[in-house]
Structure 1
Amino acid sequence: MPGPPRHRPGIGWLVRLLPTRALGAASYLQAFVLSGVVTVLGVRAYLQATGYPQIGGGGLHIAHVLWGGLLLAVGLGVTLVYLGDGARTAGAVVGGIGFGLFIDEVGKFVTTGTDYFYAPAAAIIYVAFALLVLLTQAVRGRTGRSRLTPAERTANALDVVLSGLPGGLTDRRRVAVLRLVQGTGPATEAAVAQLLDAVPRREPPPVRIWQRAADRARRLAAWAAGRRWLVWPVVVYLVLEPMAVVLAVVLDGVTGELDQEHEWGAVLGVTVAAVVTAVLSLRAAWLLRRDRTEAFRFFKLALLVDLLFGQVFNFTVNQFGAVSAVALDLALLGVVTAEHRRLRRAADR
């Protein structure tokens, strides 16, 4: 007689081997990226204002890439030695500053002449941070509360509870912990609630000036993105700006000014990206009367093409003067994304 059916082993063992995802992972990565970007811009502005001084003499030059490596080690050390959200955030900020100091000197390490002013270095720095932003968004989509397993939510809740033992937890943090373990089972919920009772209570810290400023900036961005009258100037700009870029390159070619340009490949890249962006924007404008939702999807795609491709070459041509163009693109992307979401919600009703 045949024996009992043999069951194939599941993948539970593989899941148990994977590290537990942190609920605040995207926030830590965001702090790392922002501190790195601010560091690069601050260093470039300071060096340009002071005439690019050198620390050291007699053939000795202490490059700030060394300070960057030191701060990266310090940031990692903080997260290895201390527990809690504050330590992880501090490690991310210190590490981000270190990464900014490191990546700022990339031109010295991709050229045989160790050229800090190597033209494509600005584009390499931009690509590095753009990839980190994409990584942050990918992590944000995978570490939200709804994406974590019950075991991972319990682990994150316990991490908050244990890190709050020395100094206490605010009422807001306690509510967040209880919300995390909802649905993990009565035994787990009761055990976490009992642990919370053993943690001292702490009054919330006073609101810092920078927190007020950040909150006002978020409210202003939300207000601007929700204004219907702002959408149409954005649409006009998205249609005309890439065509103006292509026209400017053509005129420079006719007048001979383009012959003085050393980065021909980057100019060609800017032109091709502008042509693609213009085609997408014109397609979006054509769709505005028939399908506004699809039209704004094309506008969003045009901005993403410019941000992820066009601005890479723009940094090579214009160096860090391209920062203002990136900031403008990000602001326009916020408006277009908000309108696209509004149209999708209206269509789903």
Structure 2
Amino acid sequence: MPPEPLRHRPVFGWLVHRLPPRAIEAASYLQAFVLSGVVTVLAVRAYLEATDYPQLGGGGLHIAHVLWGGLLLAVGLGIPLVFLGGGARTGGAVVGGIGFGLFIDEVGKFVTARTDYFYAPAAAIIYVVFALLVLLTQAVRERTGRSRLTPAERTANALDAVLSGLPGGLTERRRFAVLRLVQGTGPTTEAAMTQLLDAVPHREPPPVRFWQRAADRARRVAAWAVGRRWLVWLVVVYLVVTPVLTVVAVLVDGVTGKLDQEREWGAVLGVSASALVTAVLGLWAAWLLRRNRVEAFRLFKLALLVDLLFGQVFNFTVNQFGAVSAVALDLMLLGVVTAEHRRLRHATDR
């Protein structure tokens, strides 16, 4: 029987079958990369501000920290090339993220003719880069879940986990995760994986680290806070009132002439446009609260995403790294609104 003509095959089928297996922990590695990069940028900016921007070098030389960033990026890439296992990938992601943070922090020098580290839009560029990396991480997370991987990819990830556990052993929890990965891949594969696990030594779970206890406590506090009705309505009031006040403040500054002293006119216009869109979405959502609360909280969520993905870009240009607190607040509000939207959807589906 002649082979099927190429034109009848799926457009990306040929490419998908020839790509390496996807790592089920890929989103976690990307998240470690992004978080270490963000922390590095904030730490460097805080340190330089506190020490009045010292320079490393002398006699006409200046060793910029972008060079250290490149070195750490190379080290971060080299770790998973030399060592096997998820621990090496996580370590490489953290070291590489630190290097990337040192690199991107000096982006102002490379987009200006005067190599201006204090170029105002540099903060916005850094924010956009990390925002895109967060979106990439979320997209990878959605595509590398257990249900999205092929049986061959799940088997490859299970084998990788087993081989990584050969030197020190695997905990019972890790063994269960490996067996769950190969569940449904066929009796032959499942039996072979069980036999392979028998050859791997057992290991007791490590003691709970202080940061794990802190993270668990933070999750419990967040779950408690989201469950409080008064907090949800406080967030609703904030989402309606704040963008309206921002638009009014810009209009007042325009009338009184204060905007004439603003250097970053384009950024101010961007902040105003984003606040206007957010205000419209917030008011629309407030109007829908009595009729359709699910749709109302979907609009509140959309308003926060507009502010995070567009408004804060211009906010960083205007206020530089002082805008970090606004981003942190937006993320907390997004968590509350998302949790309430999910609760309402579940209640409606019952």
TM range (shorter): over 0.9
- Structure 1 residues 254 and 24 mapped into 2: Cα distance closer, same or farther (>3 Å)? same
CA distance in 1, matches of 2:170, 2:53: 47
Deviation at 1:221, TM superposition (A): 1.8
Q: Give per-residue Cα distances to partners, 1:127-175, cap 9 Å, x unaligned.
A: 0000000000000000001100111000000000011111111111001
Aligned partner of 1:133 in structure 2 is 134
- Structure 1 residues 203 and 302 mapped into 2: Cα distance closer, same or farther (>3 Å)? same
Amino acid at match of 2:24: L
Amino acid at match of 2:222: A
Amino acid at match of 1:244: L
Aligned partner of 2:188 in structure 1 is 187
Which runs of structure 2 are paired with 1:296-307 in the superposition (5 Å)? 296-307=297-308
Deviation at 1:13, TM superposition (A): 5.0
Amino acid at match of 1:254: V
Amino acid at match of 2:200: V
Question: TM-score, normalised to structure 2's length?
Answer: 0.97
Deviation at 1:5, TM superposition (A): 7.5
Secondary structure, aligned partner of 1:123: helix
Deviation at 1:106, TM superposition (A): 0.3
CA distance in 2, matches of 1:5, 1:59: 72
Matched, 1:322 2:338: no
Matched, 1:155 2:153: no
CA distance in 1, matches of 2:64, 2:317: 23
- Structure 1 residues 155 and 6 mapped into 2: Cα distance closer, same or farther (>3 Å)? closer
CA distance in 2, matches of 1:184, 1:110: 51
Aligned partner of 1:234 in structure 2 is 235
CA distance in 1, matches of 2:275, 2:322: 18
Deviation at 1:225, TM superposition (A): 2.0
Give the % identical residues: 83
Matched, 1:47 2:85: no
Aligned partner of 2:22 in structure 1 is 21
Aligned partner of 2:209 in structure 1 is 208
- Structure 1 residues 305 and 13 mapped into 2: Cα distance closer, same or farther (>3 Å)? closer
Aligned partner of 1:178 in structure 2 is 179
Matched, 1:146 2:147: yes
Deviation at 1:57, TM superposition (A): 1.0
Which stretch shifts more, 245-254 or 66-75? Answer: 245-254
CA distance in 1, matches of 2:349, 2:284: 24
- Equivalences, count: 346
Which stretch shifts more, 13-22 or 171-180? Answer: 13-22
Which stretch shifts more, 250-259 or 103-112? Answer: 250-259
- Structure 1 residues 13 and 127 mapped into 2: Cα distance closer, same or farther (>3 Å)? closer
Question: TM-score, normalised to structure 1's length?
Answer: 0.97
Aligned-residue RMSD, C-alpha: 1.2
Which runs of structure 2 are paired with 1:78-93 in the superposition (5 Å)? 78-93=79-94
CA distance in 1, matches of 2:256, 2:4: 76
Which runs of structure 2 are paired with 1:278-289 in the superposition (5 Å)? 278-289=279-290
CA distance in 2, matches of 1:16, 1:301: 36
Residue ranges of structure 2 left out of the alignment (5+ in a row): none
Secondary structure, aligned partner of 1:17: coil
Amino acid at match of 2:336: V
Deviation at 1:113, TM superposition (A): 0.4
CA distance in 1, matches of 2:313, 2:108: 15
Amino acid at match of 1:85: G
Deviation at 1:313, TM superposition (A): 0.2
Deviation at 1:177, TM superposition (A): 0.4
CA distance in 1, matches of 2:15, 2:245: 54
Amino acid at match of 2:32: A
CA distance in 1, matches of 2:52, 2:14: 59
Matched, 1:219 2:200: no
- Structure 1 residues 19 and 260 mapped into 2: Cα distance closer, same or farther (>3 Å)? same
Which runs of structure 2 are paired with 1:88-99 in the superposition (5 Å)? 88-99=89-100
